[in-house]
Structure 1
Amino acid sequence: MYFQHSNEIWTDFPELVPGVLHVEGITAEAATDEPIARFNAIAQSRLATASESELPEIQAWRRTFAKMGLKPTQYRCASESLLRRFKKEGSLPPIHPLIDICNAISLAYAIPIAVFDTSSIKGHIEVRYATGEETYLTFSGEVENPEPREVIFADEAGQAHARRWTNRQSGLSAIRSTTRSALIVSEALHESAFSDVQQLIATVADELNAAWSVVPKTTVLSQSAPRFDF
């Protein structure tokens, strides 16, 4: 199996910096309260001096969504949506330890983090423009077809595991209590994206090791090295 971005995506978004991890040995039980509180405190500190829309990480994604023809205030990247909910409610509801820790790190860095159960991925997975024939399973169980030229995470079978790039993941590959293997992808486009994504990926790896005693395979991709084999 492998993960990559298409040549078209790299051509249209040369500033993109993707960080990727693959981890095995995940369970539904892990002690993550302490690190989540720590990362939440970082997010609270950042939001105390600026709104989420003013953060450079979010501004870069807003520009990207506008470039894709999407209204940035109608369709938001995942980290902006999390920050808005966190600011309003003061916390995020627990879902699964892996999702909870990745969401907390996403809040702290203001960078989207997608987490996929690899057992639901057929062959390779690629971030590319949709043909419009792919299928996307919503969390409510409905099947949709992405719009042609929409940026999606698509596998070899034409299953879309995320729509509108970092806007929304699919229910098909959502993390569950039975998940043992996960692909984790974080993408940024702001000025300091390379160093920030490097730090974010190292942070995720450290927290996974602390919670599950696992050593993930990690990398930061580039246009000259766009593929991650796992």
Structure 2
Amino acid sequence: MTRGRGSGEGRGAGGIGRAATAALAESEHRVLAVDVKDDADPAAHAALVVDLGVPGAAGELFQEIEDAYGVPGILVNNAGIYEARDFLDYDAESYGRVFDINAGAAFCTRALARRLIAAGRPGSVINVASISGQSGSPEAAYGASKTSTERSSPTEVVSRNSRKLATSGIPHAPYCRSHQQRITDSTTDTDTDTDTDMEMKDHSPMDSTPTGARTLTVTIDARLSERVPGYVLGLIAVPDIDVVKDAPAVAAQLTAAEDDLHAAQLSKAEVSALPAIAAWRDAYRAVDVNPNRFLCAAESVLRRVAKGDRLPRINSLVDLCNATSLDSRLPVASCDVGDIEGELDVRLAHGGETYLPLGAPDAPEQPEPGEVVYADGQGRAHSRRWNWRQGDVVKTELGPRRILLTVESAHEGGRDDVERALGRLTEALAGLCVESGRPLVLDRSTPSGELFGAWSAATVH
């Protein structure tokens, strides 16, 4: 563990542990090295001897550290023992011993996470896995234990327990995000205590498109861009999120946005005259929609709050979109795209699409020919009159979801505002311990892009 400028547990005895200890110490961190043997690196500020194979050892270790040094800010999980024996020769005790120590990193992560949440502080966890966990190892217990290390990394934990972490109120909470590196060497097993030259490669499971991954291509139709040349669409792919009812940080953001608008005391006419809103009214007219009868999504929420009301609290993700919309004066939406395959186009309706109204999916409608809709490849429209109404298929509900966040603008210079709003959303998602893809911005010059491929990638066409 480290304290001071940053703060990690590493196996300080040799190899990767020694390298991590030295690197952190050189960066002016105060390093506390923990090992099963009493031979930690002299670069460490202090050293402890702990056997993670003993039940409860991780919790006792972190209590001792907290009492003596405070709560660490960085945890490097590098525990690893290796017994050179064939799988057929393993007895239960030896197999369990390797697994208990090597997989015991999960309990260190838990012990630190609990303390960081209680302290309201961010931090980082670095889990050192091994290529043996993916390609197999002649030493069966070692390979299996390293697979466990990878799968119990914070990203995996968050995907199953995000409700508790997301509602902790910790800003950014980067300790919940997985930093995984497998370290490979062409001649030497670098998980041993031998000092070697090492090549470090990031092999996170999300670094490349998994086999069978469902990508989504979003396209702005050329006919729409001709009508509204300044239209900009910002997108963020969130492949896996457990949507919760309440998140304190989001609630505070929405309340602050409402308070700011209340203080501005804008009239209905003044809301309509805001540059971003006035441009949307012009855009609606350009596609033959009366903006006095059908308000864009941003004008609708702004008017409601400007007259002194507060928005209903739906869930953490919808509330986040509403807060961002109030701040940016732009339409911001959360769309559950778990049921959408292949493509999603923002285009003029043909008139034969099927739209299921929000809250009334048993009363299908057909958009009018020429109105702007979000349409998939199955002939379904998921909005009416651009962003006036969202459809029932893509509504965001509680539980595990595959989400596409959208931010739209139609005013001059709108791209900059869209990018700022995307940045706010990305930062807020990180605060909820949610991994999201790299934001993608589409416009007339870049009308199409692919999302939900590689974890952080967004490809434009």
TM range, smaller chain? over 0.9
| Number of the residue aligned with 2:279 | 60
What's the offset of the Cα at 1:66? 1.4
RMSD: 1.8
| Number of the residue aligned with 2:231 | 16
**Is 1:2 matched up with 2:217?**
yes
What's the offset of the Cα at 1:69? 1.6
Residues 1-230 of structure 1 aligned to structure 2 (within 5 Å): 1-29=216-244, 30-31=247-248, 32-48=250-266, 51-139=270-358, 140-141=360-361, 142-230=363-451
Structure-2 change in CA distance of 1:45 and 1:172 (3 Å): same
Partner Cα distance (1:131, 1:207) in 2: 37
Partner Cα distance (1:104, 1:76) in 2: 18
User: How many matched pairs?
Assistant: 230
What's the offset of the Cα at 1:166? 1.4
What's the offset of the Cα at 1:224? 2.4
Instruction: Tell me if the contact between 2:382 and 2:391 (Cα under 8 Å) persists in the aligned partners.
Output: yes
DSSP-derived class of the 2:432 partner:
helix
Instruction: Tell me if the contact between 1:106 and 1:113 (Cα under 8 Å) persists in the aligned partners.
Output: yes
Partner Cα distance (1:212, 1:51) in 2: 38
DSSP-derived class of the 2:243 partner:
coil
Q: Deviations over 1:149-185 (max 9, x none)?
A: 1111000001101111111110111001134211111
Name stretches of at least 5 consecutive residues in structure 1 with no aligned partner.
none
Q: More displaced, 25-34 or 60-69?
A: 25-34
- Give structure 1 regions of 4+ aligned residues with deviation exceeding 6 angstroms: none
What's the offset of the Cα at 1:110? 1.1
1:176 counterpart letter in structure 2 = E
Largest Rg, 1 or 2:
2
What's the offset of the Cα at 1:228? 2.3
Instruction: Considering Cα pairs closer than 8 Å and 6+ residues apart, tell me whether 1 or 2 has the greater RCO.
Output: 1
Structure-2 change in CA distance of 1:79 and 1:96 (3 Å): same
What's the offset of the Cα at 1:216? 3.2
Instruction: Tell me if the contact between 1:57 and 1:188 (Cα under 8 Å) persists in the aligned partners.
Output: yes
Name stretches of at least 5 consecutive residues in structure 2 with no aligned partner.
1-215, 452-461
Structure-2 change in CA distance of 1:64 and 1:97 (3 Å): same
Sequence identity percentage: 32
2:222 counterpart letter in structure 1 = N
1:36 counterpart letter in structure 2 = L
Structure-2 change in CA distance of 1:47 and 1:153 (3 Å): farther
Partner Cα distance (2:351, 2:300) in 1: 25
Q: Deviations over 1:43-71 (max 9, x none)?
A: 33555488211211110011111122221
Q: Deviations over 1:54-100 (max 9, x none)?
A: 21111001111112222111001001111122123531111111000
Q: Give the structure-2-normalised TM-score.
A: 0.48
Partner Cα distance (2:432, 2:299) in 1: 26
Q: Give the structure-1-normalised TM-score.
A: 0.93
What's the offset of the Cα at 1:37? 2.3
